Amino acid sequence: MKKHTSTIIILLFFSLSSYAQKYILSNEEVILSFTTKNNKRVVLAKDKANAYMIYRFGTAQKIEFEFPEKTKESWSKFTYSFYFRGGGAKNEGMDLNYIHFNNKGYKYTVYDKTPETGITITNLKTNKETEIEGKPKTRKGNLLDFRNNGLLKITE
């Protein structure tokens, strides 16, 4: 009986793991990832050879939104902006980093404002903003490399 129970547990594990979609493929690496306060997963990843960049959003079991749909020329679909201010006697230092992309009438801004992280989604017709906050302790990676690596257009 124990042998059958072990076999069932192993089969159940493999069927559940194959059901969950992969947020990071074997040829990709995480740029920035975090879990939102509503327990959704956000992943900004790139191909290890810099062939493309991709954004994924969803639950642990299902990717609900992936941008862009085709990875060819994906780098041109994203822009990067940042603001840096060193700290001093009269002010606290700031290091704010943003990745932007537009999709179907909405502007998505993934932000990395250590320790805060999240996404702002702006309706381009109404300018209404929706804020999706990330859980700071779940954050992995950062957006700093885009300042100097030349992969994304830097905007103001």
Q: Where are the domains of the chain?
A: 23-154
Bridge partner residues of 29 (DSSP): 46
What backbone torsions phi and psi does residue 27 show, to the nearest 5 degrees? -95, 10
Q: What is the mean pLDDT of each run of 10 residues along the chain (156 residues)?
A: 51 42 90 96 96 95 94 94 79 86 98 92 98 96 93 90
Give the pLDDT of residue 22: 85
Give the pLDDT of residue 88: 67
Cα(74)–Cα(71) distance, rounded to whole angstroms?
Answer: 5
Q: Residues, the chain, total?
A: 156
Give the pLDDT of residue 28: 96
Give the pLDDT of residue 19: 39
Minimal CA–CA distance to 142: which of 101, 95, 85?
Answer: 95
- Is-contact 58 40, C-beta < 8 A? yes
